[in-house]
Amino acid sequence: MFKSPLMAAALAAAAIGTAPAAHATIIDFDNFTGSYSTGAYEEDGYRLSVAICSNICFKAVDAANSIDADGTSVVRSGGATSISVERSDGAAFRFGSMDFGKTLVDTTPPYTHSSTYEFTFSLTDGTQQKEYFTFLHNGSSPIATHTASFASLADKDITKFTFRNQSSAGQFDNIVLNDVAAVPEPATWAMMIGGFGMVGGALRRRRPNRAFA
């Protein structure tokens, strides 16, 4: 038994520290070159597969037409291309965000057309959730970046998602995917509960007795 509440508190803090933290992965395509129409692309434990493709599905974009701030390669999808994203080991994950942009810099006005991406998320409970992201092409140079994120998915675990451009081709880059929040092991929970319990017990024993007149 701990004689000091500080020792018990240290035990509880150590138990909290042993719980693994969630980790974010950013698929940035910086090492991708060339193009292809079939197969799968893998990066940092995630796999991107072509579900539907009418022409070139993945293609590295040159720096002059890239939405990547560093000027490194990004990937674009041709019209009607459907691409799926999942963990290579099949584990669940959470969607964070994803950058989009038009394919090339517009040279003549008006810049009034838009792009809409359809997302289909497969959740771990067996259901699916659809989301849509639309952005306007504003004719800027360099090409503007538009970031898609969905508040409704913030606490949902998914096994896979697919996305496709409902209109023309467009760029995508910097797919942010989060690990499912780690749950402490039973031994860690026991250490935490025991540590906090000993803190409370030690504080009660140290409470001075009050004398009443």
Q: What is the DSSP letter of 169?
A: -
Among 55, 34, 155, 170, smallest CA distance to 102 is for 170
CATH domain 21-180 topology: Jelly Rolls (2.60.120)
Look-up: residue for tokens 């306007």? 136
pLDDT greater at residue 128 or residue 70:
128
Q: What is the DSSP letter of 124?
A: T
The sign of the CA dihedral 74, 144, 115, 93 is positive
pLDDT at 22: 67
Q: Where do the structural domains in the chain lie, given as residue ranges?
A: 21-180
Of the ranges 34-43, 66-75, 83-92, 184-193, the best mean pLDDT one: 83-92
User: What is the phi/psi pair of residue 94, to 5°?
Assistant: -130, 145
pLDDT greater at residue 8 or residue 94:
94
pLDDT at 11: 45
What average pLDDT is seen over the chain?
Answer: 76
**For the stretch 199-213, what's the b/e string if a residue is b when 16 or more beta carbons lie within 10 angstroms of its beta carbon?**
beebeeeeeeeeeee
pLDDT tens digits, 108-145: 665 567 788 999 999 999 999 999 999 877 666 667 88
